[in-house]
Structure 1
Amino acid sequence: MTTAQEAVRTDGTPPHVSPRLYSPDLAPTKKAGRNWSGYNVFTLWANDVHSLGNYAFAIGLFALGMGVWDILAAFVLASVFLFALLSLSGYMGSKTGVPFPVMSRIAFGVRGAQIPAVIRGGVAIAWFGIQTYLAALVLSALLVDLMPGLASWQDTSILGLDGLGWVSFLALWIVQVLIVSYGMDVIRKYVAIAAPAVLITFVALAVWMLSRVDWSIAMDAGDPYTGGARIVHILEAAALWVVIYGTFVLNFCDFTRSAKSNRSILVGNLIGIPVNMLFFAGIVVVLSGAQFRLDGKVITDPADIVQQIPNTPLLALASLALILLTVAVNLMANFVAPVYSLVNLFPRKLDFRKAAIVSAVIGLLILPWNLYNSPVVVDYFLGGLGALLGPAFGIVMADYWLLRRTKVHVPDLYSEDPEASYAYRKGVNPRAVTALVPSASIAVVIALVPYFEDMAGFSWFIGAILAGVLYLVLPGRSAMPADDVDGEHIAVPSVKSAH
């Protein structure tokens, strides 16, 4: 065998690569096959920023006493942080072409990387089910509006969900499984189509609300913060917005591995984060302020306003746009991560499509409506898992940018050779684990213990910074590769890959 392609093993694995660490879906995306443009990165944010959960959070700031200008200031500050963090994280995917579970091997080791990957995937599977349930609520309401006779289907309950809810949930569940089973390129196309529809819908909704209040909104809900409390709440709101994106910040490379260039990432991030987030904030204050001026009430969800649309065809279009949006958000934020995590766990048994089905089945079996209706589960279990993402991010970033200064030997990410750059100690980097445990413990305590309530909003930052510092100062093998080698040096077998 004289060439890399000829040396591919009979099981399809490239030479010098462990089949326990490699599959075509985990292989680096070749530069010739990268098709995510700046527009695709922008549409990712255009969908995700305008999710129902994000609107509920932002509108809640108005209800808690933050005025219009305070909310806008918080989003300006948060968008600056996110643009920086996501651009740094995105560059890692663009340079190496590998998904997050493989990227984690750089700092955690080829085996230790399962820790951050499973944490990220576990959080995502739970939220996949919950978001599908929320979209099903909108679909059920729309079906009852169009066909009132279906209301009787809501009189029976099976495992905590009514009959119409089951129909709506399973319909949306099947749609998402079908989309994801065709891989990242179909997700890219769906998101690109959904984004304009979502943006147009929310602009139309905001204009309609403004017309109802003679183009004048309430600037606050009646008791705005002042002085030092005002500044603290602006900072906390900005920090919480970054926490919401703590998942995406961690595994953004799952998407940017397919970016045409780093410039595509920067352009997409620039329009999709600062510009798009300010647009989002503008929609939020218009919807909140207009509804408050209209009847003195603070809405909790854009769906509350959609249900007020008097025209049935327009109501149907707006509801479908919300469903389209929620599905897009779910595909990007809550489906891709667990798929790659499962493929990483079982590379010889699962490909992208099979992992998508397994992930979706788990998201169904956990009966997510019961999770969502349990504050204990959402706040403590999911909140606790979410708090672990900051420390994982801090370690990965400190290792990549500060310790090795972007120098990575990509082929070694798939090697179990004890002398390979990321073998560490039996595939686990003790230095990363030692930094993760105390910093994650502190982040979880700050996030969940009532005594630290005033600091809870900053738990992600505290965990990330503490973990990064610990990782840099702790002794351990630095695993610096002799050469900076990209993924083009891995001969990927001619097997059709989902990405």
Structure 2
Amino acid sequence: MRTHTSNNIALELPSSRPSTYPAPSPGALPALSPRLHNKDLAPTRIEGRRWGRYSIFALWTNDVHNIANYSFAIGLYALGLGGWQILLSLGIGAALVYFFMNLSGYMGQKTGVPFPVISRISFGIHGAQIPALIRAVIAIAWFGIQTYLASVVFRVLLIAIHPGFAEYDQQLILGLSGLGWACFVVIWLVQLVILAYGMEMVRRYEGFAGPVILLTVAALALWMYTQADARIAWSIREPLSGGEMWRQIFAGGALWLAIYGTLILNFCDFARSSPCRRTILVGNFWGLPVNILVFAVITVVLCGAQFQINGRVIESPTEIIASIPNTGFLVLGCLAFLIVTVAVNIMANFVAPAFVLSNLAPKYLTFRRAGLISAAIAVLILPWNLYNSPLVIVYFLSGLGALLGPLYGVIMVDYWLVRKGRINVPELYSEDPQGAYFYSRGVNLRAVAAFVPAALIAIVLALVPGFASVSPFSWLFGAGIAALLYLLIARREAFYADISGESIAVDNVSH
């Protein structure tokens, strides 16, 4: 095995490769292209890998216990699922997320490269812009929306501390009040400051925020349990049964997987900084299955206790916090959810587009500069208008979200089944036409051919009302169809390559 060093980053060349791909020139290392490489996109150094088990656990603690996820789980309760059914549904979702997240994480840990570079393996050095840009557009839109939602919590917090601020919460400017704009800008700047210090500051902030939200929601559930005289309602109506019950249970699990479709795709952005595969395995175990089951229990307690008290189904834990009679505890609750919303927004919606935009012009855009650009775009789209438009959320963002499954299917089957995990990392940064990932002018047409039909099917299943009964499974269908198509295309080409090789050999012998 040979080693090439650039910008103090070690790049490894594996000793074996699949026969269906061109072999590198013997004894020669590819030149690193400035159009494909900078220090932020380069593989992480072994000594710089600080994302240990706790860091990964804290990362998922923030994401699992965010307000949006509670609203989703409470929706299952409102649909008529009982306590044990919600636990089972989220348990199924947790198992699926854990499995798929590990596949993505192992890939990132081994190669040490971020998602836009990982995508070059299957889509080509230039074709990788397709999955990267899809991921970035979704992230930028949701970054703006989540920043707005965090600013709403901040606004409630300020008015609770000083009711006089309410007079600045009246007149609208481009859809937001003066107080609303002030809160939005403050939250926006806080996130920029964190990102300005790079991924190490992200790791530290996630590590700080994780215990804060975990203790907050646990305390909130315990308080609600005592308010309900230690009794909770396990369901709000006659529990579902038979086939419809099981459909809703599995649909809830599949939707939980779809919720994590973005992070499953680019978890390598974080896993690339983990020292070993076991770190990911253990960190993900405590951060995903265990954390999600704790989350499910807390959801059942919050909903069941509230329904036991007054027969009302809440939509979000923030409703309970707003009803806390003690101003001090109300402020602490708002502050905790504010901290975790910022943490989730950074990990899910800021890191990905920063790497993607840097990948568009590595020579000019570092991780920090790209992050500033994506954050600026998130403001310019006036995200509160997006959030208040059901058509945008359902047809635009959900439509793009349906593409994530097919992208994941192509990338994973190419890495794990076609290449068997054998990657030539330096050639991911090379524009040599003979390079392993140059394909046809930098685009792997096989990946595109597998992705397009699977994406169309996933979009139809996700958005067309006639397929509402199977729409929760659109991510799984899209990923499965894309993976199968790509595998069939790759095996077919390998078969004909073998036939061609045998024919040449026979012809040489006959001469």
**TM-score, normalization: structure 2?**
0.90
- The letter for the 2-side match of 1:324 is I
Question: Where does residue 67 of structure 2 map in the other structure?
Answer: 52
Query: Does structure 1 conserve the Cα–Cα contact (< 8 Å) formed by 2:155 and 2:179?
Result: yes
CA spacing shift, 1:285–1:308, aligned 2, 3 Å: same
Question: Where does residue 481 of structure 1 map in the other structure?
Answer: none
Question: Where does residue 442 of structure 2 map in the other structure?
Answer: 427
SS at match of 1:45: helix
**Alpha-carbon shift at residue 223 of structure 1 (Å):** 2.9
1:90-489 aligned within 5 A? 90-474=105-489
CA spacing shift, 1:380–1:266, aligned 2, 3 Å: same
Percent identity of paired positions between Structure 1 and Structure 2: 54
Partners of 2:280 and 2:429 in 1: how far apart?
Answer: 26
How many pairs are equivalent? 471
Partners of 1:4 and 1:295 in 2: how far apart?
Answer: 67
- Which runs of 5 or more structure 1 residues have no equivalent in the other structure? 9-13, 479-499
CA RMSD of superposed structures (Å): 1.4
Partners of 2:230 and 2:6 in 1: how far apart?
Answer: 69
Partners of 1:213 and 1:155 in 2: how far apart?
Answer: 36
Partners of 1:121 and 1:224 in 2: how far apart?
Answer: 41
Partners of 2:453 and 2:378 in 1: how far apart?
Answer: 30
SS at match of 1:211: helix
- After the TM superposition, list the runs of 4 or more consecutive aligned residues in structure 1 that deviate by more than 4 angstroms: 3-8, 475-478
Partners of 1:459 and 1:208 in 2: how far apart?
Answer: 38
Query: Does structure 2 conserve the Cα–Cα contact (< 8 Å) formed by 1:387 and 1:459?
Result: yes
Partners of 2:55 and 2:63 in 1: how far apart?
Answer: 12
Between Structure 1 and Structure 2, whose CA radius of gyration is higher?
2
**Alpha-carbon shift at residue 30 of structure 1 (Å):** 1.2
SS at match of 1:165: helix
Question: Where does residue 40 of structure 1 map in the other structure?
Answer: 55
- The letter for the 2-side match of 1:201 is T
Query: Does structure 2 conserve the Cα–Cα contact (< 8 Å) formed by 1:424 and 1:477?
Result: no
SS at match of 1:406: coil
- The letter for the 2-side match of 1:223 is E
SS at match of 1:474: helix
**TM-score, normalization: structure 1?**
0.93
**Alpha-carbon shift at residue 146 of structure 1 (Å):** 1.3
Question: Where does residue 23 of structure 2 map in the other structure?
Answer: none
Cα distance per residue 1:274-315 (max 9 Å; x no partner) = 111100001100001111111111100110000011111111
2:89 matches 1:74: yes
SS at match of 1:454: coil
Partners of 1:308 and 1:319 in 2: how far apart?
Answer: 12
Query: Does structure 2 conserve the Cα–Cα contact (< 8 Å) formed by 1:210 and 1:217?
Result: yes
- The letter for the 2-side match of 1:101 is P
Cα distance per residue 1:361-406 (max 9 Å; x no partner) = 0111100000000000000000000000000000000100010110
Partners of 2:303 and 2:90 in 1: how far apart?
Answer: 15
CA spacing shift, 1:242–1:150, aligned 2, 3 Å: same
Cα distance per residue 1:166-193 (max 9 Å; x no partner) = 1111100000011011110000000001
- The letter for the 2-side match of 1:95 is K
Partners of 2:168 and 2:6 in 1: how far apart?
Answer: 60
- The letter for the 1-side match of 2:360 is L
Partners of 1:5 and 1:359 in 2: how far apart?
Answer: 30
- The letter for the 2-side match of 1:404 is R
**Alpha-carbon shift at residue 421 of structure 1 (Å):** 0.5
Partners of 2:149 and 2:361 in 1: how far apart?
Answer: 31
Query: Does structure 2 conserve the Cα–Cα contact (< 8 Å) formed by 1:4 and 1:15?
Result: no
